[in-house]
Chain A
């Protein structure tokens, strides 16, 4: 490694300080949610929301959340939707990105244009529902996955990446007699790992957080994803329709339970990122090895 100049060292010091500050600032809200989830509901709002440790430590909030009958089926369903959905979405998006990044493909730009267009002019809830119903997908697991199978934004991200890959690779493979399927699966996909990892993360997070699809297309509780199950807890006491009700929902669900709910529902997906990070570094490694 080449020795760093004085300016670079000053920059490195400044950089470390700055990033550490950012680290603290972004860590705080996460700690806040965690602390609040272990707090006593009455002590939580001591005038200010600033929280540096759990106020009146207890685990009653978690007991409440874990009592939820549908919690575990919700977890299982969400994991299923996330894994299967992400695989389907990544494959389809990669097909689209690979196909539409081929030079000289007739109709290429028209199709990209039409795909982008559809991002803006969706038909709304009711037409989408009728399509899903007419395809016989209501109350099936497929209804959770198919309607959102390609996200145009993610497609464009991957398209950009594929466009930037050296064309010679493909040509060399073609001369060796490879067809497009071989080129895609054996050459391009391994090389595009970093980009595929990003869109996989985007899809996984979207599936993990999705409750709207289930709300619209699924009636059977045994198919409910975690977020829909837990949203009921978060939603208690804020129902407009119950505004005229004399039953005080504040009692049923305290703020602290809501925080416990958030912790329970987000911890697993947070753990995905460190695994994805691996691919970001690997890209650099390949380059280095080649060099």
Chain B
């Protein structure tokens, strides 16, 4: 049975578009069989629980459950949008992500490209392995170290003083927070983030380089004409995903790095919701804020995907 189908398909070949939808689907039956467990997984573990989002429109009480809790419509959404701090929280969340997009996003790509130029394999591997290690150090330790380095009498200020520059209040002056956070993000994430690009680089056909070298292209030209174009689909996808996170922030790290004196730049949506939760805020409010973030994030992702398809021809869907 299977062999017959196979044969038939091989003979039929192209073109695809003239066939009826049903026929095409039958033709792909093996693929659908592969996708079946995937679909089941998504339905059971992702789509069924999605009904839980209902609590964003309720005054959910854990003791009553979803059915008995009272519906309140958009109350929690309006209460969040009308909060005195809403715009400040939104601004900080977006700014931190914008910094991330401008600096923390390209950093691993640059590292991967630089590593690609290293000829000495042991050195290359050591750099790869060691830059990836900070990813495994818990946020508490990393943030603690950063705070220590930039504290009034810390390492960074000592170095600045040695060059005759006055000490800076990195921790208590609001203007530095975005920078501090981004530096930490790069420090901890550069090696880990570069893995995907290093793997993509290894997929580039070496023939291409050889051919261009014969044409007399310099390394720099090769990077521009071969390496970057080959990396582009990966970069595009990662960028789309990154844009789809513009309203999410590394909550734990911010909690560890900020202090009330710099709330004006460091207080983000998630930290505010967290503090409100401690005061006795409810599930429904945080669910509503979460849903709000998700909607915006998803719309951004769809937009970025559309844009990327227009601009580079590659996108997710």
A and B touch in the complex (CB under 8 A): yes
Instruction: Give A contacts to B, CB under 8 Å.
Output: 2, 4-5, 7-8, 11-12, 15-16, 18-19, 22-23, 25-27, 29-30, 32-33, 48-50, 92, 95-96, 98-100, 102-106, 109, 111-118, 120-124, 126-128, 130-131, 135, 146-147, 149-150, 153, 156-157, 159-161, 163-164, 174-175, 177-181, 184, 194-195, 197-198, 201, 205, 209, 234, 259, 262, 266, 269-270, 273-274, 277, 279-284, 287-288, 290-291
B244 to chain A: which residues have CB within 8 Å? 120
Are B128 and A277 touching (Cβ within 8 A)? yes
Task: Determine whether B81 belongs to the interface, using a CB cutoff of 8 Å to chain A.
Answer: no
New A-B contacts (14) at CB < 8 Å, excluding given A124-B53, A160-B314, A198-B199: A22-B127, A29-B133, A29-B141, A29-B145, A114-B42, A120-B301, A121-B291, A127-B49, A161-B203, A177-B7, A198-B195, A266-B136, A282-B202, A283-B203
B218 to chain A: which residues have CB within 8 Å? 5, 7-8
Interface of B is mostly: helix
**How far, in Å, is A100 (CB) from chain B's closest CB?**
7
**How far, in Å, is B51 (CB) from chain A's closest CB?**
6
Are B314 and A49 touching (Cβ within 8 A)? no
Are A22 and B30 touching (Cβ within 8 A)? no
Are B202 and A280 touching (Cβ within 8 A)? yes
Are A180 and B21 touching (Cβ within 8 A)? no
Interface of A is mostly: helix
Task: Determine whether B24 belongs to the interface, using a CB cutoff of 8 Å to chain A.
Answer: yes
B84 to chain A: which residues have CB within 8 Å? none
The 5 closest A-B CB pairs, nearest first, are: A123-B52, A123-B49, A127-B52, A127-B49, A283-B202
Are A194 and B317 touching (Cβ within 8 A)? no
Task: Determine whether B103 belongs to the interface, using a CB cutoff of 8 Å to chain A.
Answer: no
20 contacts between A and B (CB under 8 A): A15-B114, A19-B115, A32-B145, A33-B141, A50-B155, A96-B38, A104-B24, A122-B50, A123-B52, A124-B53, A159-B316, A177-B6, A184-B34, A195-B203, A198-B199, A262-B141, A270-B133, A277-B125, A279-B199, A280-B201
Are A26 and B133 touching (Cβ within 8 A)? yes
Type the 1/0 row for B67-97, where 1 means its CB is closer than 8 Å to any CB of A: 0000000000000000000000000000000
Are B118 and A15 touching (Cβ within 8 A)? yes
Complex interface: stretch among B174-182, B205-213, B262-270: B205-213
Instruction: Give B contacts to A, CB under 8 Å.
Output: 2, 6-7, 9-10, 16-17, 21, 24-25, 28, 30-32, 34-35, 37-39, 41-42, 44-53, 55, 111, 114-115, 117-119, 121, 123, 125-134, 136-138, 141-142, 144-145, 148-149, 153-155, 187, 190-191, 195-196, 198-207, 210, 213, 218-220, 233-234, 237, 241, 244, 287, 291, 294-295, 297-298, 301, 314, 316-317
